[in-house]
Amino acid sequence: MTEESKARTATIFDVARLAGVSHQTVSRVVNNLPNVRPATRARVEDAIRQLRYVPSTAARSLVTRRSRTIGLITTGNPDYGPSSTVLGFSEAAGKARYLVSTASMLEVDSASMRSAVQLLLAQNVEAVVLIASHRAALEAIRGIDLGAPLIAVEPSGRSGLLSVSLDQYQGAYAATEHLIGLGHREIVHVAGPDTSMDAAERVRGWRAALAAHGLVAREPLVGDWSPNSGFRIGEQLAAARGFTAIFSGNDQMALGLIHALTAHGVSVPGDVSIVGFDDIPEAEHFSPPLTTVRQDFAELGRTVMSTLLELVTDGQVGPIPHPVPQLVPRESTAPPRA
């Protein structure tokens, strides 16, 4: 333990790191709850002694109450993916006869995250679910001693928190493979914002699929998820050309791309094929109907809820599935012209 770590008050996450367990397991040991292996309990108790960790009275009482209420924290703009995730989770929670109390924030920092957590804990929530659109949300909550189980909905799986997600990487890989299978070799990617973890995973999947076939990945063009940003990028691409396909980071940007390209006399899919991501309800009514990657947010909600129930009941969870979004071929993609 460093002098720096001794100088500040230890948190439940410090104990979890030192003991090599989840913070939920530390919480169960602190509250003397069952279903913790003796050897694990001993490691946690030893870490508590080393760090002189003192849990708050409020935190100790919260985890032992059964309020049948879950705290939900949402961050960032209400884009289609996060909004659909909220809906899918809320429906799954309702079927399990749980209430969902929600705290939302556009901009994320430590102070606003702490306020959101305190608001939810004051309602005696049994657990907290964080829908993290941006990395900043994970960083902000990491240093807060919740005293309650936490599940993060984030795609990387590398946050150090218990996380659940749809597999954005594999979805993007499938979209790119579809274009490669049609014969495209120059495939541009229009990505979401640099701060978005979903966007980063989709970039990673696109790059991997191209690399698997020995194809060159141009630097992605970055939008903000909106049709307007897709339109602006589409105007740039219409002037540049030199490619035959575009993988768009979401369907809304794909709509803007189609608009800009066709306005400049570029045929979709005759000159350029386009694949989107999400399968928003309007996607099949685009002109042409959009080939895209469908995300099952209802399934994601059920996965989050089942994981949460396992966590609050047993204090630990088994392997967590990460469902793979499915490619939906439509008329916006075709083989490149000879």
Query: Crossing angle for the helix pair 110-121 and 135-142, nearest 10 degrees?
Result: 60
pLDDT band with cut points at 50, 70 and 90 for residue 7:
very low
Q: Mean of the pLDDT values across residues 243-256? A: 97
**DSSP reduced 3-state for 205:** helix
If asked whether residues 180 and 282 sit together in one domain, one would say yes
Q: What is the pLDDT of residue 106?
A: 78
Higher-confidence residue: 6 or 8? 8
Predicted TM-score (pTM) of this structure: 0.77
Task: Please report, for the domain that includes residue 10, its CATH number.
Answer: 1.10.260.40
**Which residues does 285 contact at the CB level (< 8 Å), separation at least 6?**
none
If asked whether residues 181 and 68 sit together in one domain, one would say no
Q: What is the pLDDT of residue 266?
A: 95
Domain membership flag for residue 338: no
Q: Mean of the pLDDT values across residues 249-253? A: 97
**What DSSP element (H or E) covers 85?**
helix 80-95
Domain membership flag for residue 256: yes
If asked whether residues 174 and 287 sit together in one domain, one would say yes
CA distance 224 to 297: 21
Q: 52: left (phi > 0), else alpha (psi -120 to 50), else beta?
A: left
If asked whether residues 69 and 160 sit together in one domain, one would say yes
Domain membership flag for residue 332: no
Domain membership flag for residue 330: no
Q: What is the pLDDT of residue 280?
A: 93
Token code pair at residue 88: 């899918």
Q: CB of 70 within 8 A of CB of 100?
A: yes
Tens of pLDDT along 292-324?
999 998 888 888 888 888 887 766 677 788 889
If asked whether residues 173 and 285 sit together in one domain, one would say yes
If asked whether residues 74 and 102 sit together in one domain, one would say yes
The range of the structural domain enclosing residue 162 comes to 60-166+297-322
Higher-confidence residue: 270 or 146? 270
Q: Is the pLDDT of residue 150 over 90?
A: no
Domain membership flag for residue 336: no
Domain membership flag for residue 198: yes
**Which residues does 219 contact at the CB level (< 8 Å), separation at least 6?**
none
The half-sphere exposure of 319 on its side-chain side, counting CA atoms within 13 A, is: 3
If asked whether residues 154 and 255 sit together in one domain, one would say no
Tens of pLDDT along 180-202?
999 999 999 999 999 888 999 99
pLDDT band with cut points at 50, 70 and 90 for residue 3:
very low
Q: What is the pLDDT of residue 5?
A: 43
Break the chain down into helix, strand, coil percent, rounded to 5.
Answer: 45, 15, 40
Q: What is the pLDDT of residue 158?
A: 67
If asked whether residues 127 and 207 sit together in one domain, one would say no
**DSSP reduced 3-state for 246:** strand
Q: CB of 21 within 8 A of CB of 44?
A: yes
Tens of pLDDT along 36-46?
888 888 999 99
Tens of pLDDT along 120-144?
888 888 889 998 878 888 888 877 7
CA distance 30 to 33: 8
Q: Mean of the pLDDT values across residues 70-78? A: 84
Q: What is the pLDDT of residue 34?
A: 66
Q: Is the pLDDT of residue 219 over 80?
A: yes
DSSP state, residue 284: G
Count: domains in the chain? 3
pLDDT band with cut points at 50, 70 and 90 for residue 1:
very low
